[in-house]
Each structure stands twice: as structure tokens, then as C-alpha cells.
Amino acid sequence: MDEQGFLEYVQSGGQVETDDWMPDEYRQKLIKFIEMHANSELMGVLPEREWILRAPTLQRKLALTAKVQDEVGHAQLIYRVVEDLGKPREQCLADLISGTSKFHNVFHYPTRTWGDVGVIAWLVDAAAIISQKALLKCSYAPYARIMKKICWEESFHILHGRDVILTLMLGTDGQRELVQEALNRWWAPLMMFHGNPIPAENDPVVQWRIKTQGNEEARQQFLDGYVPQIWELGLTVPDPKLRRREDGVWEYTEPDWDELRSVVTGHGPMTAERLEFRRVTREETAWVRSVVLAEAA
Amino acid sequence: MTSVWEVFRQERKGQAFEHAGSVVAPDIAFAEAYAHEQYGRRGESVALWVVPRDAIHELDDFPDELGRNYHRVDGYSLKVKLKEARERAGTATP
């Protein structure tokens, strides 16, 4: 099979296994895309981890701990896929810490209150599940297969997030305000989450059928699914231009794409602190890895 | 040294084991522990198979030089013959 034949094969829904022949460009695109996904799972637990000890009840502490365990588990599964494509996990972690590789924009921001924790588990995970569902038909089959398990676990997180939000909304005025303020902080990063509206035909990741929907399509699906759920709780979306047109398309204020570019290239408000935390814990746990490997040898 | 272990999971008693994914581990004890955490934590499996990747031998070449279609469903095209047989017996629906 040549490159053109391969492209036609994947575009018509064909799937590829680890040992199958694939063009180098496809392999490189896969590694970059999947590695960023794994990095995001690993970095995504840090904003939530900060709240485990401060969560309001024992039940909430346990639920949050379980979510953190799930996300780290996802990182492990996804790094496995990258390793089989040829990039060792140690290299992925080194590139993450040195800032050579990227992770999702939403994990570069601070979690100021318990309201932020609810908004992250509900709406960030909702946005993520939309992207991840579009990977269930990924042309690279090993990635598509683990996505089944990941999507299944993410649905628990959305439940947990909705429960946190509903509990706050049924509380005092102060608690409702906490949610509204968190939503105000998270709306802009959420609108950037699915990326700039690059047409699907110009997006190599869509052309290779690594993902099966375009950025704007994902964002529209998010707005369609979740804006009504936000409104029905009496919350306000902090965008005066937001409205659903007669034809079903959502209009919104153009997100600040320069901010997105700056954040994901390592200049977010929490980027340096969180990467430093990763670096320190990696050093502190080095002895565990060496003991495990020595004992098994 | 670590190596790769493939994990297969059974969702309910009596069902076929299905490939779930893989884990990297230094030995079988760690491989079992990782597989247990990754694929059995939420009651989604009743049993797991944990297999060293090297132990799996894949065959994917099934040539049919002799065209032995009597092994397959497409070797039996009953439709036309059935139509003729019905006409002959006078039971064909118009």
C-alpha cells in the first residue's frame, strides 16, 4: 500500500493496527495527538488534586480521589498507545516537564473555589467527552478501543460534577454566587477548548481520520447540549452575544485565539507551577521505580 | 526491565474474553495488579486474562487458491434455484 492508498483506506473508515504499515507522517501525527491527550489526563488531575483535602464532606473527598485515580489511569492507558507507536513513556514525561510537548488549555488555569471544582467536573469533562466520543471511530484502532473505557468512566465524572453543582444551587445565595463566579472564570477557556475553527478539510488530524469531527462542530455540539442545562439552573452564561439561531447554529463572541496559543505554548497562569510540581514529584518517586525494577530483575 | 502484557476481559460469565488493552510491568505480580486496577475496578469485568505479549502468535493470512467456496455461505446461492423450484411446483407468489 502507498501513502495515497493508505489515505483512501482510512478516509473510507478503514482501521489500522500497531504492526500494520503506515506512512511516517501519519505515525508522527498520531504520536503528537495521542501524547497531548495523555499529557492532558496527567496534568488535568492537578487542579482537582488541590481540592481533595478541602472538599466539603468525606463523600466528596472520596469521589474526587476516585476521579483523580481514573484520570491518572487514563494517562497510563494512553501513554501505552504512544509507546507502541515508538515513543517511550520516559521520553513523553521528560518532554512534558521540559515544556517541549503540550497539554490542554483548561489545565493551565487555577481552581480558586469549590465552585471551580464543580464546573470542571461538569463542563470541562462534558467538553472532553465530546472530543473523546469523536475518537471512538479513530483510524488507529488501539486508540479507539481504549477510548471506549475512557468515555465510560468520564460519564461518572459528569455525574459527580452535576451533583456538586446541583447541591450548591440548592444551597444559599452565597453558594449560588460561587457557581456563577466559577462559570464566569471558566467560560472563556471552555469556548477555546475545542480549538480554532479550522475547516475540517484543512485539518490533517481530520484528514487522516484520527479524529472524526471538526473543531467548530464539537463546539456547537457542546453549546447545544450544555447551554440549556446551564440556563435551566438560573445561571447566566457570561457572553452577551450567545444565542441559538433559527437554523440551530449557535452564535457567540469570538474567543481570544491569541490567549489560547499563549496558554498552550506554556504561558498560562498556572503552567510553570504545575510543571514544577510534576518535576518535583517525578524526582521524589524515582526511588520507587528503581526499587521495583531492581526487585523484578 | 519491563515488558508488555496484553489484557483480555470478560464482562459476564459465559461471554467471550475481549481484548481490553495492555499494561507495562516488571513481572507478573505487577502486571496482575495493574490489570486489576485498570480493567476491574468498577465491576466491569468478572475475569481477566493477563498474557505476555510475546506469547501471542498472530495469523492473518488466509489465502484460498483453490476457491473452496463450499466452506463459506457465499458458496450456496439458493435464491435463483428456489424461485425456479417454486415455479415448477406452481407455488410461486406472483
ipTM rounded to 2 decimals? 0.75
Give the separation between CA A106 and CA A185, rounded to whole angstroms: 11
pLDDT score of B62: 87
In degrees, rounded to 5, the angle at the alpha carbon of residue A74 between the alpha carbons of residues A73 and A79 is 100
**What is the full DSSP assignment across B60-85?**
-----TT--GGGSGGG--HHHHHHHH
Is B71 contained in some domain?
A: no
Identify which of A179, A183, A126, A178 has the alpha carbon closest to the alpha carbon of residue A155.
Answer: A126
Give the separation between CA A32 and CA B62, rounded to whole angstroms: 35
pLDDT score of A287: 95
| Percent of chain A with pLDDT strictly greater than 70 | 99
Owner of C-alpha cell 497539554: A103
Query: What's the rounded mean pLDDT across residues A17-46?
Result: 96
pLDDT score of B76: 83
Residue A170 binned pLDDT confidence (cut-offs 50, 70, 90) = very high
Query: What's the rounded mean pLDDT across residues A210-239?
Result: 96
Residue A122 binned pLDDT confidence (cut-offs 50, 70, 90) = very high
Residue A72 predicted with pLDDT over 80: yes
pLDDT score of B46: 97
Report yes or no: B69 at the A interface, CB cutoff 8 Å. Answer: no
pLDDT tens per residue, range A103-121: 999 999 999 999 999 999 9
Which of A76, A153, A292 minimises the CB distance to B26? Answer: A292
pLDDT score of A166: 97
Shortest CA gap A54–chain B (Å)? 25
Residue A296 predicted with pLDDT over 80: no
* CATH, residue B37: 3.10.20.520
* Residue A232: DSSP 8-state: T
Question: Length of chain A, please?
Answer: 297
The values of phi and psi at residue A37, to 5°, are -60, -45
| Percent of chain B with pLDDT strictly greater than 70 | 99
Is B86 contained in some domain?
A: no
The answer to whether the CB atoms of A145 and B38 lie below 8 A apart is: no
Which has more confidence, A206 or B68?
Answer: A206
Round the average pLDDT of chain A to a whole number and report it. Answer: 95
Is B91 contained in some domain?
A: no
Region A3-296: CATH code: 1.20.1260.10
The answer to whether the CB atoms of A80 and B23 lie below 8 A apart is: yes
Round the average pLDDT of chain B to a whole number and report it. Answer: 91
Residue A15 binned pLDDT confidence (cut-offs 50, 70, 90) = very high
pLDDT score of B41: 87
Residue A297 binned pLDDT confidence (cut-offs 50, 70, 90) = low
Give the separation between CA B4 and CA B19, rounded to whole angstroms: 14
A residues 149..168 contacting B (CB < 8 A)? 149, 152-153
Residue A151 predicted with pLDDT over 70: yes
- Residue pair A126/A226 in contact (Cβ under 8 Å)? The answer is yes
The answer to whether the CB atoms of A292 and B23 lie below 8 A apart is: no
- Residue A151: how many CA atoms within 13 Å on its side-chain side? 15
Give the separation between CA A17 and CA B72, rounded to whole angstroms: 26
Domain boundaries defined on chain A: 3-296
Quote the domain boundaries for residue B28: 3-55
Query: What strands lie across the sheet with B47-52, from one edge to the other?
Result: B18-25, B3-10, B47-52
Residue A278: Cβ within 10 Å count:
16
The answer to whether the CB atoms of A145 and B23 lie below 8 A apart is: no
Angle between helix A58-84 and A141-169 (nearest 10): 160
- Grid cell digits, residue A235: 445561571
- Structural domain total, chain B: 1
pLDDT tens per residue, range B18-47: 999 999 999 999 999 999 999 998 889 999
Report yes or no: B24 at the A interface, CB cutoff 8 Å. Answer: yes
